[in-house]
Amino acid sequence: MADSKHLTITLAQLNPVVGDVAGNAAKARAARAQAKADGADLLVLSELFIAGYPPEDLVLKPAFQAACRAEIEALARETADGGPAVLIGTPWVDEGRLYNACALLDGGRIAALRFKVNLPNYGVFDEKRVFARGPVSGPITIRGVRVGIPICEDTWIEESTEYENVVECLAETGAEILIVPNGSPYTREKNDMRLSVSVARVAESGLPLIYLNQVGGQDELVFDGSSFALNADRSLALQLPGFVENITTVRWTKGEGGWSCKGPVAPVLDGDKGNYAACVLGLRDYVGKTGFPGVLLGVSGGIDSALCAAIAVDALGADKVRGIMLPFRFTAQESLDDAAKLAKALGIQYDVLPIAQAVQGFEDILKPVFAGRERDVTEENLQARTRGVLLMAVSNKFGSMLVTTGNKSEMSVGYATLYGDMNGGFNPIKDIYKTEVFRLSTLRNSWKPDGALGPSGEVIPPNIITRPPTAELRENQTDQDSLPPYDVLDAILERLVERENSVASIVSEGFDSDTVARIARLLNIAEYKRRQAAPGVKVTRKNFGRDRRYPIVNKFRDTGKALPEPDHALVTRSGRGSAEAFEG
pLDDT digits (tens, 9 = 90+) for 75-134: 999 999 999 999 999 999 999 999 999 999 999 999 999 999 988 877 677 888 899 999
Residues 240 and 306 in one domain: no
Boundary residue ending a domain (238, 268, 298):
268
Residues 52 and 190 in one domain: yes
> In whole angstroms, what separates CA 130 from the centre of its chain?
21
Q: What is the pLDDT along the chain (584 residues), one digit of tens a residue?
A: 566 689 999 999 999 999 999 999 999 999 999 999 999 999 999 999 999 999 999 999 999 999 999 999 999 999 999 999 999 999 999 999 999 999 999 999 999 999 999 888 776 778 888 999 999 999 999 999 999 999 998 898 765 567 788 899 999 999 999 999 999 999 988 899 999 999 999 999 999 999 999 999 999 999 999 999 999 999 999 999 999 999 999 999 998 888 899 999 999 998 999 999 999 999 999 999 999 999 999 998 999 999 999 999 999 999 999 999 999 888 888 889 999 999 999 999 999 999 999 999 999 999 999 999 998 888 888 888 898 899 999 999 999 999 999 899 988 988 876 444 556 689 999 999 999 999 999 999 999 999 999 999 999 999 999 987 654 434 444 333 478 999 999 999 999 998 899 999 999 999 999 999 999 999 988 888 888 888 899 998 765 455 676 777 776 777 788 888 888 888 887 665 544 444 44
Query: Which amino acid, residue 296?
Result: L
Residue among 68, 71, 102, 116 flagged as catalytic: 116
Residue among 47, 127, 410, 436 flagged as catalytic: 47
Residues 220 and 329 in one domain: no
Residues 166 and 307 in one domain: no
In a domain, 93, yes or no: yes
**pLDDT value at position 460?**
96
> In whole angstroms, what separates CA 66 from the centre of its chain?
28
Give the C-alpha separation, 43 to 248, whole Å.
Answer: 10
In a domain, 205, yes or no: yes
Residues 314 and 191 in one domain: no
User: Global pTM?
Assistant: 0.91
245 in Cβ contact with 450 (< 8 Å): no
The residues with which 140 forms a beta bridge, in sequence order, are 147
Residues 430 and 344 in one domain: yes
Number of domains comprising the chain? 2
Q: Please tell me whether residue 141 adopts helix, strand or coil conformation.
A: strand
Q: Please tell me whether residue 103 adopts helix, strand or coil conformation.
A: strand
512 in Cβ contact with 485 (< 8 Å): no
In a domain, 424, yes or no: yes
| Listed residue (282, 284, 285, 246) closest to 265, CA to CA | 246
In a domain, 129, yes or no: yes
What does the DSSP assignment read for 382-407? Answer: HHHHHHHHHHHHHHHHH-PEEBP---
Contacts (Cβ under 8 Å, ≥6 apart) of 474: 377, 381, 414, 415, 416, 417
Residues 107 and 169 in one domain: yes
How many CB atoms are located within 10 Å of the residue 103 CB?
A: 24
Residues 113 and 163 in one domain: yes
Nearest-Å Rg of the Cα atoms of the chain is: 27
Helices (H), 232-373: 271-290, 303-316, 333-346, 356-370
Q: What is the CATH number of the domain that holds 439?
A: 3.40.50.620
CA dist 395 to 98, 296, 424, 532, Å?
Answer: 41, 7, 9, 19
Per DSSP, which regions of 14-73 are E strands?
Answer: 42-44
Residues 49 and 131 in one domain: yes
279-297 pLDDT, tens per residue?
999 999 999 999 999 999 9
Residue among 68, 102, 152, 279 flagged as catalytic: 152
Boundary residue ending a domain (517, 532, 547):
532
CA dist 209 to 19, 41, 264, 498, Å?
Answer: 29, 17, 16, 31
Residues 425 and 333 in one domain: yes
In a domain, 346, yes or no: yes
Q: What is the CATH number of the domain that holds 106?
A: 3.60.110.10
Q: Could you tell me the residue range of the domain that residue 38 belongs to?
A: 6-268
**pLDDT value at position 417?**
60
Residues 319 and 335 in one domain: yes
- 116 flagged as catalytic: yes
Task: Indicate the Cα dihedral angle 386, 484, 307, 185, nearest 10°.
Answer: -110
100 in Cβ contact with 57 (< 8 Å): no
- 73 flagged as catalytic: no
- 410 flagged as catalytic: no
**pLDDT value at position 158?**
63
268 in Cβ contact with 239 (< 8 Å): yes
In a domain, 563, yes or no: no
In a domain, 582, yes or no: no
**pLDDT value at position 382?**
87
In a domain, 547, yes or no: no
305 in Cβ contact with 405 (< 8 Å): yes
CA dist 560 to 275, 493, 543, 549, Å?
Answer: 33, 15, 21, 21
414 in Cβ contact with 477 (< 8 Å): yes
How many CB atoms are located within 10 Å of the residue 166 CB?
A: 26
Residues 383 and 406 in one domain: yes
**pLDDT value at position 415?**
80
